[in-house]
Amino acid sequence: MAPTFAAILAAHLLGYVIFRADWAIKRQRRAWALVLHAVIVTSISYLLLGAFHWQILLVVFATHMSMGAIRVRFRADSLTLWSIDQSVHLGVLTALACGFPDAANGGWWIASASSEVSHWYFAALTLVSGLILCIPIGGNLIALLVNRFADELQDNGIAGLKQGGKYIGWLERFLVLLLLLMGQPNGIGFLIAAKSILRFGEIKDPSQRRVAEYIIIGTFLSFGWALTVSVFTQRALKYWLP
């Protein structure tokens, strides 16, 4: 079960985040864009599994087509819809892994490799999934969570680098994951302290209480998500590389 789940989860995340081009997202109301996205995820699933397991590929294709159509029909920026979308995908992937536990083990990547090499292969897929979940997926989730507070800051005249906050969040979550994987969790405390010092100039003004609370909420959400994903990634890697 674990090898199949590692392969199709990595394929889903790569297709959903890395190989989902902005130009396709902007045109997702067109049928061809939905088909293209589903084909990309299905193709990556085929490559990572290393086998033409048509039942898995058909379900992956149908799931991405149907959920993509639902996202187009309703609000794409809704936290509820995003949560339902990802929960459905996770449930389907788990069911596929339970139903076809040996699908990945029978692929050409694994059939011709030693046990040690296959473990490194699935560990690499696990690390890729952890990185995507921690960094870009975490950014999407946090943006949706704090979006309800953003309207209250429109009149505060906040200016900064374009998408600067996005990349700051990506970097801090990457560093949290890196520190945990290196076995240096104490470094996370220094990271939080460093960010607090750097942000002090933005929140020291009592009149900017809304901004301060917005920053604090976003920071705690970012570190909380990064720590959660990092712990699960670390344990999953130990499964493959004890």
Tens of pLDDT, residue by residue over 198-221, are 555 555 555 566 666 777 777 888
Q: Binning pLDDT at 50, 70 and 90, where does residue 128 land?
A: very high
CA 3/CA 200 separation, integer angstroms: 46
Q: What is the dihedral of CA 228, 139, 127, 223, to 10 degrees?
A: -30
Average pLDDT over residues 89-107: 85
Average pLDDT over residues 163-179: 80
CA 196/CA 4 separation, integer angstroms: 42
The model's pTM:
0.82
pLDDT tens for 45-74 read: 888 888 888 888 999 999 888 887 777 777
pLDDT tens for 2-29 read: 888 998 899 999 987 766 654 555 555 5
Highest mean pLDDT of the ranges 104-118, 142-156, 172-186: 172-186
Q: Where are the domains of the chain?
A: 2-112, 134-240
The more confidently predicted of residues 189 and 141 is 141
The answer to whether 222 and 138 have CB atoms below 8 angstroms apart is: yes
The separation between the first and the last C-alpha atoms of the chain, rounded to the nearest angstrom, is 18
Q: Which residues contact 202 (CB under 8 A, 6 or more apart)?
A: 208, 211, 212, 215
